[in-house]
Amino acid sequence: MYPTKRSAMKNITETFGALYHPVKAFVVFQKDSPENDTYVECYDMDENGFPINAHPLSIRESTQLANALDTSDELKRNFLKPSGLMPKNVLYINPDHNGYAIWHTPKQKVDLFFVEGLGIPNGKAAIPPLLWKASRGTLQVYALEGDSNITTDTPLYHAPFFNLYENGRVCMGTVKIKIPADCLLEEFIHLWQQYFFNSFFSHTLGGRIRVNGNVIQLWQSLVGTKKQFPINFLQENGLTLKKILS
């Protein structure tokens, strides 16, 4: 037997929780540049829930937004935290909200990708030991003469790759970097190395790549061969591990 309309009607308003009404809307604009400069525009909401009165985000609104989004205590517990024992190749961790990690990788063979105009085939090639410094949004890569007995006074070399500035900072081009705010250390390292090696090397920054010789001929001679990377091609950049700990 089906209930009548009268018997089916029931006052359920007491089961509702607190109602939230839209009062602000935010639109984030980001410049298409290596710096990824960001601008936030704020909208008030009218009584019908439609955005009105577009204006730059004020200090008061910024504070309100920061308080609403403040999960920093929770996120800090995981950001750059190792899932187990500290990986042996990690040299330094600064885990604050603008934190970074420094680690090194040994000489090895990896798959490299080059844009067609360089005249270098894609393929596996030997690379030197590397030292990496990364935050959630930036990456710096340096070369090492060796990967044992690294100290704060260990000299750093220019990494022999395209898409790098002279200071070691990597231009990621159109690669969309997505490092979670609660990213564990091992995943953080894996993601950055994946971003770096899975993107196409395409251009020089600052005029040239600082190696002792012709960098295009160097990679042409290494890709697809069993040759080891010639360490004598590396040039020191005047930096040490101590100088990048900031």
Are residues 107 and 205 located together in one domain of the fold?
A: yes
Decide if 137 is inside a domain.
yes
How many Cβ atoms from other residues are within 10 Å of residue 132's Cβ?
24
Taking a C-beta distance cutoff of 8 angstroms, is the pair 23, 44 a contact?
A: yes
pLDDT band (50, 70, 90) for residue 42: confident
Task: Give just the sign of the alpha carbon dihedral 159, 160, 162, 165.
Answer: positive
Residue 165 lies in a domain: yes
Share of the chain above pLDDT 90, in %: 58
Average pLDDT over residues 95-111: 91
Name which residue leads in pLDDT, 41 or 236. 236
Are residues 180 and 234 both part of a single domain? Answer: yes
Indicate whether 125 and 32 sit together in one domain. no
Burial bucket for residue 182 (CB in 10 Å: 0-12, 13-18, 19+)? middle
Q: What is the mean pLDDT of residues 99-104?
A: 96
Residues 47 and 138 occupy one common structural domain: no
Pair 110, 197 in one domain: yes
pLDDT on residue 97: 63
What local confidence, expressed as pLDDT, does residue 6 receive?
46
Digit-coded pLDDT (tens) for 175-210 = 899 999 889 999 999 999 999 999 999 998 877 788
Per-residue pLDDT, averaged over 86-113, amounts to 93
Confidence (pTM): 0.71
Q: Is the domain of 182 the same as that of 228?
A: yes
- pLDDT for residue 34: 56
Q: Residue 27 belongs to what domain range?
A: 17-69
Count structural domains, the chain.
2
Residue 121 has pLDDT above 80, yes or no: yes
